[in-house]
A = this chain, B = another copy of it.
Amino acid sequence: MTTAAPDLAPIGVLVLRGARVESWHRVSYAVADGAGRVRHAAGAYERRIFPRSAVKPLQALALVESGAGHRFGVSAAELALACASHSGEACHIAALTGWLARLGLDQNALACGAHAPLHAPSAERLLVAGQTPTPMHNNCSGKHAGMLTLARHLAAPLAGYHRPDHPVQRQVATTLAEMAGLDALPAPATDGCGVPTFPMSLAQLAGALARLGDPQGLGTRRRAACEQIRAAIRAHPGLVAGTGRACTAIMTAAPELIVKTGAEGVYAAALPRSGIGLALKVEDGAGRAAPVALLALLEALGALPGAARAALAAIARPAIRNHAGEPVGRIEPARGWLDL
């Protein structure tokens, strides 16, 4: 345990220009086991945060354990896409198109709204072709396809499937609360894609990830669903994020891990071999700091073999280049930040 005051997050990530620290990021984190015991923590780890997309693998549980996935023939690739903040590359769009078509649906059924593909070359190709981004390109469209599949299975209306009082969201929320070890979740806010995002603490989120990665203490159906999701992600790390993205790179280099990013500087991970989960939040929400902090934590926990560390060096300590391409700085974990 750190000696930092509970609410003041330690400085976890430094941004250097030349030899001087230009900016820095405070990071709270929790490492917990499947019983919800906090093993390591720092900062405001008991304060509720919005986990955002970091809970997508947990949100996908209802799709599997309800039987909806089996009934509608959801493949491992599609299940990975349901857990994804994908980059809107051709592979993501192709998988999604097939899935929706099998349900007799298209992009008009998706309530997530449109944004340009996160994968810059794909976004540029779209523009050059004179096309407009659609809800298919939204990084959350796979999660929404999963929710539509569940709505079909429940014989619930498709319209409004993203609203908090819809049977789909109620079932997703119940599963999420159980995984986080809670009787119920506090009132949600609205996520960037329109579905509810429920506040929970980093300690609770870490416990939920521990259970997802090592579900042996859970009921038969839940355990099978966790294992199916873990297998799907492991088989398709490229569908969970995309080319050049941290989640894909980390799960490719260290396939025994589940890692999932969320907006506003959130990261969650499961370390199945150790039976632990971790969750972190960058205080200021900076996306550039979250993977640097995650890799520092994973390394400190012994979860990154040497080959993985080498493969991930550019994500662990990204170089900053100016517009002429010269290296002018770097982002790196603060020394002595972690007290594991």
Contact = CB atoms under 8 A, between A and B. Distances in A.
Contact of A24 (B130, B284, B328): B284
Interface residues of A, number: 49
A6 interface: no
Given A112-B323, A124-B127, A264-B15, A329 B23 contact: no
A83 B111 CA distance: 44
Given A15-B264, A128-B127, A113 B323 contact: yes
A20 B189 contact: yes
Contacts of A194: 322-324, 326
A286 interface: yes
A30 interface: no
Helix, strand, loop or mixed for chain A's interface? loop
B324 A23 contact: no
A192 B322 contact: yes
Nearest to A187: B18
Nearest to A285: B23
Given A23-B265, A130-B128, A264-B15, A322 B283 contact: no
A323 B192 contact: yes
Contact of A192 (B124, B264, B328): B328
